[in-house]
Structure 1
Amino acid sequence: MYFFERQIVNQIRNSSGLYFRYIDDIFVTINWPVRHLLKEVDRWNKFDENINLSANIGSSVNFLDLSIEHRDGQLFTTVYQKPSYEPYYLPFNSIHPLHMKKNIPFAMLLRAIRYCSTFQSYLNEREKLRMALLLNKYPNKIIDEQFNNVLSKFGIDEPLTLTNYNRSRQKIIDSSIKEKQLVNYEKSIFVHFTYCSSMKTFPIKFHALWDKYFDKSPINEVIPILGTRNVDNLQRRLIHTKSKI
Structure 2
Amino acid sequence: MRNNNFLYEGQYYHQIRGGAMGSPLTLTIANCYMFFFERDIVKQIINGGGSYLRYIDDMFIIINWSERHLNKQIDQWNLFDLNIQLKAQAGSSIDFLDLSVENVNGHLLTKVYHKPSHEPYYLPFNSVHPMHMKKNIPFAMLLRAIRYCSTFKAFLNEREDLRMALLLNKYPCVFIDKHFNRVLQKFNINQPLTSNNYIVRYAKRLFMRQKEKN
Give TM-score scaled by structure 1 length: 0.69
Give the Cα–Cα distance (whole angstroms) in 2 for the partners of residues 165 and 97 of structure 1. Answer: 34
Partner of 1:170: 203
Partner of 1:84: 117
Task: Extract unaligned runs of 5+ from structure 2.
Answer: 1-33
Partner of 1:160: 193
- Aligned residue pairs total 178
Give the Cα–Cα distance (whole angstroms) in 2 for the partners of residues 116 and 78 of structure 1. Answer: 4
Partner of 1:66: 99
**What amino acid is aligned across from residue 19 of structure 1 in structure 2?**
Y
Give the Cα–Cα distance (whole angstroms) in 1 for the partners of residues 95 and 182 of structure 2. Answer: 29
Partner of 2:18: none
Partner of 1:183: none
State the Cα RMSD in Å: 1.6
Matched, 1:111 2:144: yes
Matched, 1:46 2:79: yes
Partner of 1:75: 108
Give the Cα–Cα distance (whole angstroms) in 1 for the partners of residues 156 and 198 of structure 2. Answer: 11
Partner of 1:55: 88
Give TM-score scaled by structure 2 length: 0.78
Matches within 5 A, 1:109-188: 109-175=142-208
Give the Cα–Cα distance (whole angstroms) in 1 for the partners of residues 164 and 209 of structure 2. Answer: 30
State the shift of 1:35 in Å: 1.6
Q: Which has the larger radius of gyration?
A: 1
State the shift of 1:176 in Å: 5.4
Give the Cα–Cα distance (whole angstroms) in 2 for the partners of residues 42 and 33 of structure 1. Answer: 14
Percent same amino acid at aligned positions? 65
Q: Is the Cα contact below 8 Å between 1:76 and 1:117 reproduced in 2?
A: yes
Give the Cα–Cα distance (whole angstroms) in 1 for the partners of residues 177 and 113 of structure 2. Answer: 23
Q: Is the Cα contact below 8 Å between 1:66 and 1:79 reproduced in 2?
A: yes
Give the Cα–Cα distance (whole angstroms) in 2 for the partners of residues 168 and 9 of structure 1. Answer: 31
Answer 1 or 2: higher relative contact order, Cα 8 Å, separation at least 6.
Answer: 1
Give the Cα–Cα distance (whole angstroms) in 2 for the partners of residues 146 and 105 of structure 1. Answer: 6
Q: Which runs of 4+ in 1 moved over 4 A?
A: none
Partner of 2:25: none
Matched, 1:10 2:43: yes
Give the Cα–Cα distance (whole angstroms) in 1 for the partners of residues 103 and 125 of structure 2. Answer: 38
Give CA-to-partner distance per residue, 1:109-132, whole Å, 9 cap, x none.
111111111111111111100111
Give the Cα–Cα distance (whole angstroms) in 2 for the partners of residues 55 and 130 of structure 1. Answer: 35
| Paired residue secondary structure (1:101) | helix
Task: Extract unaligned runs of 5+ from structure 1.
Answer: 180-245
